[in-house]
Structure 1
């Protein structure tokens, strides 16, 4: 296998499980969380985020989705007009914008706000905060799903 094949296979490998995690989160956990009252939602998020924010799986997939496409783009640099190069570049931009920027600008600060809520005295706008959490997850999911498809298409186009 060539470097570009290995790098694109790694891109697909990291984006695939992350896409699955986000599919589970948005299609299974969101409806469950939407049915909870404020106290239960806050308590669940406190327990969930204590582990999810520090999970090695999250770091491995998010770093892998950012680094492997860079390796592929470097390997494909002499063939910048190819479909594989452009599909990889667009997928990588989606990862940077839809995963890294969203996580650092909106998701992590929003987690901090939600975790500051007192479960016994929820703020009046807690439901808006829950909707924002759902929206952020959908942005992550859409960008990751699209990146996964683009990385796979780039690999198949080689």
Structure 2
């Protein structure tokens, strides 16, 4: 049973990391290269879609890691799982304090109502996202290391 939980947890966290890597290394460069207002509109649309899904995914990943840590408390690798959980907590806090406020504003922007500093705000979101991806990637690496 513990093995099934470990595999399921690794898959859920791994796919989440993959989605965020895709945003960082595929979607962001594509959106930045689009002409005119298209990039900002695409970012807003992506924010609406992923903004509806990712909170559940982040919290779900954290819950799975916590359940694995508790269920396997006396098993080898639990310290790595707990550390991975701490990093996932950090990613949720970062998201709530740094990324979500920018994303919530951007979701409603149109070329007619966006602020003058919209590009700077999206650049700030991107920098925070880079750090968040590094944090969740480290959590995933620790989680997988604990399970092998």
TM class, shorter-length = 0.7 to 0.9
Q: CA deviation at 1:106?
A: 1.6
**Structure-2-length-normalised TM-score:** 0.85
Q: Distance in 2 between matches of 1:118 and 1:19?
A: 29
Q: Flag structure 1 segments of 5+ consecutive residues without an equivalent.
A: none
Q: Distance in 2 between matches of 1:73 and 1:53?
A: 28
**1:123 aligns to what?**
115
Higher-Rg member (1/2): 1
Q: CA deviation at 1:59?
A: 4.8
Q: CA RMSD in A?
A: 2.2
**Structure-1-length-normalised TM-score:** 0.80
Q: CA deviation at 1:116?
A: 4.3
Q: Distance in 2 between matches of 1:38 and 1:134?
A: 19
1:75 to 71, 76, 80: 71
Q: CA deviation at 1:51?
A: 2.0
**More relative contact order in 1 or in 2 (CA 8 Å, sep 6+)?**
1
Q: Is the 8 A contact 1:69 1:92 kept in 2?
A: yes
